[in-house]
Amino acid sequence: MSVNSVSSPAFATSFAANGWPANRPEQGMSFLDILAATQDDSAETGADEDSAKATIDFSNATRQELFDWMNERIRSGKMTLDESAAFLAMTVQFDLQTLKPVDMATDTTRVDFLEKAQTGIEWARYNYDEADEARWRTTLATMEKLQAVAQGIE
C-alpha cells in the first residue's frame, strides 16, 4: 500500500507563513516547542564545523536527517531561526488522503533537497515573490557550499 503525499517546499512555506502546520494544532506544539523537546542536555561534543558539514548529503537524505542537521546548526549558533525557515519547510510532508503531516521519524524516503530548493526558487519566481525567492536562493547556496565541502570539492 502506498501513501500519497505532498512535500512541496512552496506548499509548506505558504502553510507555515499562515501559522499551520507550524503550530500543529492536532499536536498543540509549535516549532520552538518541538525544537526544545529535541534538544538534549548533554555537554557539547566539541565537533568542529567541518565535521558537522559532512554529516548530511543534501542530494540524498531523509526529512529527519535534514531536521536533525538543521537543529544542530541552530543549537550551535551556526544558523538563525529565520535562516532555518526554508529548511524547515522542506521537512514538512502531508498525506494527500488524510491531509495530516507524515511523521518524519518513521519516513525513510530519501529526498534530493537541492532539487526541492530549486523548486522553491521556481515557485517563488512564478508567484513574483522576490523575498521568498531570495530565501530559497540562500538556502540552495548554503546546501551547495556545504555539499562541496563535504565532498572535498571546495
- Model confidence over 17-42: pLDDT tens digits? 444 444 444 455 565 555 555 554 33
- Model confidence over 43-63: pLDDT tens digits? 344 444 444 444 789 999 999
Domain span at residue 112? 5-150
Q: In the prediction, which pLDDT does 36 show? A: 57
Mean of pLDDT values over 84-107:
93
* pLDDT(13) > 70: no
Determine what percent of the chain is predicted with pLDDT higher than 90.
Answer: 58
- Residue 88 to residue 15: CA distance in whole angstroms: 12
DSSP string, the chain: ----EE--HHHHHHHHHTTTTTT-TTTT--HHHHHHHH---SPP----HHHHHTT--TTSB-HHHHHHHHHHHHHTTSS-HHHHHHHHHHT--EETTT--BPPTTT----B-HHHHHHHHHHHHHHTT-HHHHHHHHHHHHHHHHHHHHHTT--
Q: In the prediction, which pLDDT does 117 show? A: 96
Q: Which residue has the higher pLDDT, 86 or 53?
A: 86
Q: In the prediction, which pLDDT does 147 show? A: 85
* pLDDT(15) > 60: no
Number of domains comprising the chain? 1
Q: Which residue has the higher pLDDT, 7 or 83?
A: 83
Q: Which residue has the higher pLDDT, 129 or 10?
A: 129
- Model confidence over 96-142: pLDDT tens digits? 999 999 999 999 999 999 999 999 999 999 999 999 999 999 999 99
